[in-house]
Structure 1
């Protein structure tokens, strides 16, 4: 890639983003504007804002690279993203969340839970946990964009990270959620066009759909012995049931992200941006089509990259990428695609990173300035100012985390955040919307248990994370503590059921308390 050409394209792109961010800034006059975009967002904007915040460089580069290693089995995650992450999320959760949020006048997810269960502690705990953990997810997103910039322009990883980070910060800082929504709609449209072009050119490059998939099926004899011993059967089929790779693909990548999306705070706040349930129904279509193209294309191209690298280098994708799955998609695009698509793809990754990071930094800012601030005033300009300070805090934490992460970390870091959110908050979130008998004690007990069990699994039992963090090795001289199959089962599979049971049992054994809304009113749309 020629830097001079990309700079010209980048300047045009940033000019559009600057204009949209300025519109958001001009219309951000109150805390409601800053936190929920005024509550009257068009369904097209809401659908793309939801999808753009959900699907980022971590999905395109990180999970696309994982598909390069594990194959087409990751397309089950596309199904989960659409069915659970869009259809169930919008229909089952979106409508009652919007109704409950408007009735309680809640502007953030921690505030929604805190008011529903009449618990300041619950609200503060949720906000603190999100503020601490969101930088891990943001770091995965930032790493995804930086890896492509590193590969395409032959930069150092640290230089690519700083370029990406500064560009994102420059346009996230001022606009609040209004600016985020406006720019997300533009960036989402751009990403959609880029991914649609990528899948078409990939099949053209590989000789058509049938030929490409036949070639991928024929490559199963090239599976490395180490991967075959762990259950890998080829890039066009599922791993052996119950094997190490099967547990990783199904429990960590598919279930961890597919279920975890339901409790993502930066996505839940999108339900509060629209003025009625009708807008949520309309936004569902836009969000579903967007996510189908973003994840379906990334996972398909990731798997098919094995065919290209076999034909050109005689190696499978992970070997051609030097053993780092985060580099599979960047290497394929920069080597197999025409140069003009590389420019657009890099622009698309920048757009995807900015969309996701803007939502994540916005979540950190509202947690710091509003949910953790006992003197916060919804109509005070001071809250907006503190929110922008919170973005700076989130940026500093994220940059610190980025440089601590090892290679091939994007899918794991993403699944940790998604899984922990689901384990700690999904049971009480469902109860807040649908079970009037749910109690404050049940919610707090479920939240604490889900957090503790999930973190214990990550640090001491699940082999992939335990080996990365090294806590188990440092304390007990062994990592992980237990042998198969416990060390292969994702922490979500253990923590979430326990959290559900504790929430239900404690709620039944304790008084429901002064819960503001009964179930009937909660479901009013």
Structure 2
């Protein structure tokens, strides 16, 4: 690998990020600029930022690695990402979120919920959940990028983590959401270009679409025994209905991530950065194309890496990397593609990681500065030091992410992503939907839904769901068994299928049994809901 060429590529890339970050910093003059970009973000930038935040190294490295082990059935997730993560999110949730958020004067997702229900507790508790849970997601995204640096450039894993953290923290710390979104847009363009080339090159390398897919199908005899034992049927077929593999794929991956995206605070806040519904409508096409290209390519390439590795080394992908699926995509790129593309793909992977982590840091920082500290601070004084405390929260967040990144085991990227998506969905999804569409939901009902969803999800992860309960060992230490419900299918049913219905039931029942919200609270929240063309004044 030519270090001089690599250095030039990186210098140009870092210079571009610094330049964009400086431009964002110059335009950041108020809390509103720092938190939601002044509510006048261009629709293309908003869409690219949304997509780049959504699709991180977790999708490319983590789920691409999962596809290398289990096959193309993961492609159903890409379909859900487009339909639910973009179309439904933008059209049915984004517009109401934007109008209601602007009416309420919200700067963050927890503040949106707190003001919608006129509840200081909801504001504080939601911020606490986000600030405590998101370091796991940030850590696995960091791991995905650092693994590629380790595999392709032979840079020590720990050093890679540190370099990434310093660069990302710099432009988030100074530029706020504008720094995040503008750099996201730049990084999103790099990601799309790299992935389009990657998909075309891989199919060319393997003899064309038909030949490559047929070769993968014919390798069914090499399908991992562990996958077959749990219900897997082949690289290009769906697992057996009701099997442990089926439950894991459908509940954890497809439902957990595919639907859990609707309750992601770092994505929801994007809807409040544009000035009208027209901007959201214009964002759908750009966002949809971005999501269609990115995960689809990662899942196809991950699956087809088995054909390449078997032809060259006589082994399937998971055996080549010693069982750590997080190394499959980096190893395949390094071995199979031209050296110049390794540089480009490295940039795209760094872009994917940096765009997602920057949004995570910004979300955690605002959760700390606005939602936790801001609700405890004297109201007259909290505005004066809001940005300063938010920046302190950003520093704490990156430190927590680094500690976890050094501590987590291998093959954790996809699982860690799923867990965060599901905890957020359990805590917020029913209440968020109710806040947008049901005027009868009460503050006590919302509190019951958020608290029940949070604690049921944590209980299920610690004591029932096999992947996490066995790995953490807390259930074994307390009760002497790996999981409290060992009979099929309970250890394989994802937390979202349990906690989200519980949260919804608590929200509904408590709302019906408690005093309806004050009319002025309803009027304030729904002030602009009927005004479809409303813009920021």
**1:511 paired to 2:484:** no
Q: Is the 8 A contact 1:30 1:379 kept in 2?
A: no
Match for residue 447 of structure 2? 444
Match for residue 340 of structure 1? 340
**1:490 paired to 2:494:** yes
1:401-480 superposed matches below 5 A: 401-480=404-483
Distance 2:337 2:384 in 1: 48
**1:399 paired to 2:402:** yes
1:262-411 superposed matches below 5 A: 262-372=262-372, 373-374=374-375, 375=377, 380=383, 382-411=385-414
Displacement after TM superposition at 1:162 (Å):
1.7
Q: Is the 8 A contact 2:70 2:227 kept in 1?
A: no
Q: Is the 8 A contact 1:216 1:236 kept in 2?
A: yes
Displacement after TM superposition at 1:482 (Å):
1.7
Deviations 1:231-255 (A, max 9, x none): 1111111111111111111110111
**1:202 paired to 2:207:** no
Displacement after TM superposition at 1:70 (Å):
1.2
Distance 1:288 1:119 in 2: 35
Q: Is the 8 A contact 2:69 2:224 kept in 1?
A: no
Displacement after TM superposition at 1:383 (Å):
1.5
Displacement after TM superposition at 1:505 (Å):
1.2
**1:523 paired to 2:529:** yes
Match for residue 255 of structure 2? 255
Match for residue 84 of structure 1? 84
Give SS of 1:487's match.
helix
Distance 1:212 1:222 in 2: 16
Distance 2:386 2:13 in 1: 30
Aligned pair in 2 of structure 1 residues 360, 520: CA closer, same or farther (>3 Å)?
closer
Range that drifts further, 399-408 or 148-157: 148-157
> What 5-or-longer segments of structure 2 have no aligned partner?
533-537
Match for residue 240 of structure 1? 240
Match for residue 126 of structure 1? 126
Match for residue 46 of structure 2? 46
TM-score w.r.t. structure 1 length? 0.98
Displacement after TM superposition at 1:333 (Å):
0.5
Distance 1:160 1:2 in 2: 19
Aligned pair in 2 of structure 1 residues 262, 377: CA closer, same or farther (>3 Å)?
farther
Q: Is the 8 A contact 1:54 1:267 kept in 2?
A: yes
Displacement after TM superposition at 1:207 (Å):
0.5
Distance 2:307 2:139 in 1: 30
Distance 1:377 1:21 in 2: 31
Aligned pair in 2 of structure 1 residues 394, 520: CA closer, same or farther (>3 Å)?
closer
Distance 2:528 2:274 in 1: 17
**1:502 paired to 2:490:** no
Deviations 1:284-332 (A, max 9, x none): 1111100111101001101111111111111111111110010010011
> What 5-or-longer segments of structure 1 have no aligned partner?
none
Deviations 1:412-463 (A, max 9, x none): 1111110011111111101111000111111111111111111111001011
Match for residue 171 of structure 1? 171
Distance 1:439 1:380 in 2: 28
Displacement after TM superposition at 1:223 (Å):
1.4
Give SS of 2:522's match.
coil
Distance 1:170 1:361 in 2: 11
Aligned pair in 2 of structure 1 residues 129, 310: CA closer, same or farther (>3 Å)?
same
Displacement after TM superposition at 1:282 (Å):
0.5
Distance 2:2 2:481 in 1: 49
Q: Is the 8 A contact 1:101 1:272 kept in 2?
A: yes
Give SS of 2:385's match.
helix
Distance 2:461 2:32 in 1: 37
Distance 1:136 1:303 in 2: 26
Distance 2:29 2:426 in 1: 36
Give SS of 1:272's match.
helix
Match for residue 142 of structure 1? 142
Aligned pair in 2 of structure 1 residues 271, 283: CA closer, same or farther (>3 Å)?
same
Q: Is the 8 A contact 1:433 1:523 kept in 2?
A: no
Displacement after TM superposition at 1:508 (Å):
1.0
Q: Is the 8 A contact 1:466 1:472 kept in 2?
A: yes
Q: Is the 8 A contact 2:103 2:527 kept in 1?
A: no
Displacement after TM superposition at 1:512 (Å):
2.0
Match for residue 535 of structure 2? none
Displacement after TM superposition at 1:381 (Å):
5.3
Distance 1:336 1:480 in 2: 42
Displacement after TM superposition at 1:137 (Å):
0.4
Give SS of 2:329's match.
helix
1:50-129 superposed matches below 5 A: 50-129=50-129
Distance 2:110 2:412 in 1: 28
Aligned pair in 2 of structure 1 residues 377, 325: CA closer, same or farther (>3 Å)?
farther
Q: Is the 8 A contact 1:265 1:363 kept in 2?
A: yes
